Structure 1
Amino acid sequence: MQECIIELNQISKAYRSRTVLHPIDLQLYRGEIFGLIGRNGAGKSTLLKLLGGLIYPTGGSMRLFERSTCEQRSLHERMGLLVENPGLYTQLSGFDNMELLADAYGMKARKPRIEELLDRVGLADSSRRKVKEYSLGMKQRLGIALALLGSPDVLVLDEPINGLDPQGIVDIRHLLLELNKTGLTIVIASHILEELSKMATRFGILHEGRMVEIVSRDELLQQCEQRIEIRLTEPEAAIPILEAELGIRRYKLLDSQLLQVYDEHAELYQIHAALVKGGVTVHGIARQQVSLEQYFLERTGSGGVRNA
């Protein structure tokens, strides 16, 4: 059974009369990568700030590591944060930025730890250069190193790949996957669903301050998997024919007239012929596939047309 390390119960946030985050229930589990998806202004940064203890909720409660944050605010110290921007001192080197934060933490014998983290994020050869000379990707990697300095149990990242070139995105993805292999739990917010799908094990879709869906990676990929949709008068009668005649085992009955078949080797004409031969009336048959972006648009009520 997965260990729940973060639990939000009806957490909400409002500024005066404007509600930016409606009541949300959410459980996060040790060792997972949770992807928070939403367009700009959906409330992602607000939720991450609440998770990290940077702002207080208007309503609801939060438990971290099975303890209430109301009773012990220091629980947030077990989280490493990179929200909105790293807050770097550009006139200083990457190493000096790390050392300043280590000073604030009161860390002893910090040099080996700093060097280890800079090496892990790929900045060992650039650690003595001034940050103003860094590329955007290098600054993001330094921000992640800073967030890891306190050896957190949870790493919270807000749009860490935004504005990066393709190679920078790949570098950050590989870094996060390697960190996750060590057991680190990661919460990452992004509006780039395609990239998140390569990392996250679960996804939360946030829209206009509301959590509209939480779905696992397997569930998401199944929804976006290529399939054959068959419209029938009696889909229950079609199932034994498909199993016996074509050996089809992966299918889903959606309603009284729609059957979905998940079999990349199945041909439309074979299915149609087998059903007609078995006395089943076929009203329509076609291959369908929903892109990840289309899935997101449908869940947030933004419309769009499925790709045939």
Structure 2
Amino acid sequence: MDSTLAIRARGITKCFGDVVALDDADLEVAQGQIHGLVGPNGAGKTTLLGLLLGLTVADSGRLEVFGTPVGRAFEAPGGVAGFVDGPGLYPSLTARQNIAALAALRGDDTRSAGIDDVLGQVGLTDVADDRTRGFSLGMRQRLGLAAALLGKPRLLVLDEPFNGLDPAGKKHVHGVLTRLAREGTSVVLSSHRMDDVEALCSEVTILATGRVVFSGPLGKLATENRELDYRLLTSDPEHARRLAAEAPGIHLAEDTDGRPGGEVLVLRAQVAALDALVVRLIHEGVSLRELAPVVSPLEAAFLDLTEHRTSESPQRKTHAQQQETGR
């Protein structure tokens, strides 16, 4: 196996009864990379995270973590920590006691387990001695992250870690994950929040009905051959409207404020056509105040790649079974 990879999965299939959760899925995650896992509900994201944490085992395929094949035992591979479906906490215990209980279960010396350090990393020092039954969802998510950090994992696996976080909490968690990756820790996270995925992840895997429909750098999703809708705000909206209407490859949509002659224009265009319009606007003395996709490239690609699959009936056969019966 490539020594620079933290995860290498090939042909992973997992069924629960006649429901195919993962169908011939591949995944590669480099060491020190934050890798996003996105997909509609029921796409197989939680199942894949569970495989990495040793909570379930694949029916077929091969999974390696840091070069070591993951066997059939229900246990997390060495150096892996995280949570799925939210962190499990004891509501009657304080934040500090929850972390100490986890340390004790792992056989660590709770006096030197770094409890205060991990609580400080996630910004929970001030509530370390408060019972967790009163914690908000965001505080519970941060405590779950603290628990995962306790053993200084080489691979961190997180399921919807940004749920319930306020802007300050999200910024704090972003900083923690970015620092960990910079120090060499690999992170795999699932999220429905495309802004978080785009802000943190260098690569992303998109799942739909158990199959990988895209895996690679985010830049590949922002292809210059795909038309996107863009918001355009300028110093002279009427002049910008006339130039956009004349420009090849530019399609004017209804203004976002719903009024003819509104200040914000919505344009559908490929990148090359949009670039040409911007050059012409500047040449004619029209200043740009805002130019941004209405829907992010990741979200647009997500919808393109998953909508037609999720509209189909649920899978009842794996890809391999379909090939077999089709012969």
TM-score, structure 2 normalization: 0.71
Equivalent in 275, 297, 304 of residue 298 of structure 1: 304
**Who is 1:81 aligned against?**
82
Distance 1:54 1:72 in 2: 9
Letter in 1 for 2:33: E
Please give the secondary structure, in 2, of the residue aligned with 1:267: helix
CA contact (8 A) 2:79 2:153 kept: yes
Distance 2:96 2:175 in 1: 22
Distance 1:170 1:164 in 2: 9
Q: Give the total of aligned pairs.
A: 261
Letter in 1 for 2:36: G
Letter in 2 for 1:194: D
**Who is 1:9 aligned against?**
10
Please give the secondary structure, in 2, of the residue aligned with 1:70: coil
Distance 1:20 1:103 in 2: 34
Query: Which is worse superposed, 168-177 or 195-204?
Result: 168-177
1:199 aligns with 2:205: no
Deviations 1:157-199 (A, max 9, x none): 0011123334433332222222222221100001111221000
Change (3 A) 1:262 1:29: farther
Distance 2:149 2:24 in 1: 30
Q: Where in structure 2 are the equivalents of 1:277-288 lying within 5 Å?
A: none
Please give the secondary structure, in 1, of the residue aligned with 2:8: strand
Please give the secondary structure, in 1, of the residue aligned with 2:199: coil
Distance 1:288 1:101 in 2: 44
How much does 1:138 deviate? 1.2
Deviations 1:51-95 (A, max 9, x none): 111101111111111121128876613101111121100110111
1:143 aligns with 2:148: no
Please give the secondary structure, in 2, of the residue aligned with 1:98: helix
**Who is 1:63 aligned against?**
64
Change (3 A) 1:83 1:129: same
How much does 1:109 deviate? 5.5
How much does 1:226 deviate? 8.4
Distance 1:151 1:129 in 2: 24
Letter in 1 for 2:280: E
Distance 1:260 1:2 in 2: 39
Distance 2:223 2:96 in 1: 44
CA contact (8 A) 1:24 1:210 kept: yes
**Who is 1:211 aligned against?**
212
RMSD: 3.1
Distance 1:300 1:5 in 2: 27
Q: Where in structure 2 are the equivalents of 1:72-111 lying within 5 Å?
A: 76-108=77-109, 110-111=111-112
1:267 aligns with 2:262: no
Distance 2:123 2:293 in 1: 42
Change (3 A) 1:85 1:269: closer
Distance 1:124 1:168 in 2: 13
TM-score, structure 1 normalization: 0.75
Please give the secondary structure, in 1, of the residue aligned with 2:214: strand
Change (3 A) 1:30 1:167: same
How much does 1:209 deviate? 1.0
**Identity across matched positions, percent:** 34
CA contact (8 A) 1:230 1:260 kept: no
How much does 1:219 deviate? 2.5
Distance 1:95 1:288 in 2: 44
Please give the secondary structure, in 2, of the residue aligned with 1:76: coil
Letter in 2 for 1:295: A
**Who is 1:22 aligned against?**
23
Q: Where in structure 2 are the equivalents of 1:109-120 lying within 5 Å?
A: 110-111=111-112, 113-120=114-121
CA contact (8 A) 2:12 2:62 kept: yes
Change (3 A) 1:170 1:39: farther
How much does 1:218 deviate? 2.7
Letter in 1 for 2:169: G
Query: Which is worse superposed, 33-42 or 258-267?
Result: 258-267
